[in-house]
């Protein structure tokens, strides 16, 4: 999936500094970012590291000053970056598979007192 920086800025309510038509192909942390990725820099120290990153763009705080890569400036860097990550890596919805017919629970098994059950399981004792 590809998106330009202007679209990502609209998604997170941010302001673009630099090329707003830059194509972004993914999102990654500063140390893992590759060409085409957007990353985040939430401190002045990380802005220094950004210069050595392969990232193509970054999400930064409006309170930081940066001259370099195109950026999206926002109030809450972490919330904005989380939205962007979800755009590139949407939550997978796995179907419930139920209880395997091969499952076996010992007849002497006990559930701890501090365990919270989400649903009741009906256990069948094997013969």
Query: In this structure, is residue 119 part of a structural domain?
Result: no
- What pTM was computed for the model? 0.70
pLDDT band of residue 102 (cuts 50, 70, 90) is confident
pLDDT of residue 38: 97
Mean pLDDT of 64-92: 91
Query: In this structure, is residue 11 part of a structural domain?
Result: yes
pLDDT band of residue 14 (cuts 50, 70, 90) is very high
* CATH for 13: 3.40.1390.10
Q: Domain range holding 28?
A: 3-88
Query: In this structure, is residue 112 part of a structural domain?
Result: no
For residues 33-69, b (16+ Cβ closer than 10 Å) or e, as one string? beebbbbbbbeeebbeebeebebbbbbbbeebebeeb
Long-range contacts of 49-57 (CB under 8 A, 24+ apart): 55/28, 55/30, 56/22, 56/24, 57/5, 57/18, 57/22, 57/24
**Overall domain count for the chain:** 1
Q: Mean pLDDT over all residues of the chain?
A: 86
Query: In this structure, is residue 84 part of a structural domain?
Result: yes
pLDDT of residue 124: 54
Long-range contacts of 3-10 (CB under 8 A, 24+ apart): 3/87, 5/38, 5/57, 5/70, 5/72, 8/38, 8/72, 8/84, 8/87, 9/72
């Amino acid at each position: 999936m590809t998106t330009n920086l202007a679209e990502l800025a609209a998604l997170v309510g941010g302001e673009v500094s630099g090329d707003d038509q830059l194509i972004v192909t993914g999102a990654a942390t500063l140390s893992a970012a590759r060409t085409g990725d957007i990353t985040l820099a939430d401190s002045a120290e990380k802005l220094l590291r950004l210069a050595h990153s392969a990232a193509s763009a970054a999400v930064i705080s409006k309170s930081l000053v940066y001259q370099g890569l195109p950026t999206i400036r926002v109030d809450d860097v972490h919330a904005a970056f989380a939205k962007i990550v979800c755009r590139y890596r949407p939550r997978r919805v796995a179907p419930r598979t139920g209880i395997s017919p091969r499952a076996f629970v010992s007849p002497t098994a006990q559930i701890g007192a501090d365990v919270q059950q989400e649903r009741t399981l009906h256990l069948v004792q094997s013969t």
